[in-house]
Amino acid sequence: MNLITKTVILPKAGKVRITFYRDRRKATKDKTTFSLPFDIHLNGKIAIGEIIYSPLLRSCRIMWNEPPDDKNIVEETENFIKEFLFGTLMAITEPIDSNEADKIINNFKDFFWSSIQYTITGTGACVLMIPIGSRASRQVKIIIRKKDTGDYFFTDDGLILRSFRPHERGQREKVVFGAKKIGIEVKEEELILNSSAEDLIQNLYKFIQFVSAVYLFYLI
């Protein structure tokens, strides 16, 4: 939304129409301060100004290029603009274009891939180590094994349920209930999800989501 027009009735000024030109907004290099042009239609006359504001410091001042003739109107208009600025203008988000979206997603994929470590054990299992909450010291361990049928299964090697302390029995039961609800089996403290080769990636993602959620909500 590059153009915002607001018609208001101010006690001293009467009916005024204020237009904010977001397409002409400028920012300092570090984006701590912005300038936002605006104009006011008042009794057939136009007053032109600029808002200098800092979202970081929650402050702003009005610079007039062509101010209204009446000082009382100037003060009343400035007060309204400041209230509108912090109540509405600063709450409006910026649009994300397709190029920026592509960059965000590609950077995320690169970051996610570079953060995952994996090893192949002597028995041919693939062990994934995935950091949780951007902390390398906290990692989810997921083991992928292949059956002689060509299907796969994922397991946490029993680490999650064994991490709950005796007084956390209620939380542990919630985890077991949630696991079974989405098709994850529980065998001797081990969480297991079977998968066909065709659904391998979708099921692996589901297993990672569940295990990560348990760590974030209960074990970190």
pLDDT of 130-170, one tens digit each?
Answer: 888 655 567 889 999 999 999 999 999 999 999 888 888 89
Tokens at 93, concatenated: 């988000």
Residue 95 has pLDDT above 80, yes or no: no
Under a CB-based contact definition with an 8 Å cutoff, are residues 166 and 159 in contact? Answer: no
Q: What is the pLDDT of residue 9?
A: 87
Under a CB-based contact definition with an 8 Å cutoff, are residues 118 and 127 in contact? Answer: yes
Tokens at 11, concatenated: 């006690």
Higher pLDDT, residue 136 or 58: 58
β-strand pairing of 45-54 with 26-27: unpaired
Query: Average pLDDT, whole number, for the chain?
Result: 88
Q: What is the pLDDT of residues 15-45, one digit of tens each?
A: 888 999 988 888 888 888 899 999 998 877 8
Side chain identity at residue 177, one-letter code: F
| 157 φ/ψ angles, rounded to the nearest 5 degrees | 65, 20
Q: What is the pTM of this model?
A: 0.60
String of b and e for 123-160 (b: at least 16 CB within 10 Å)? eeeeebebbbeeeeeebbebbbbeeeeeebbbbbeebb
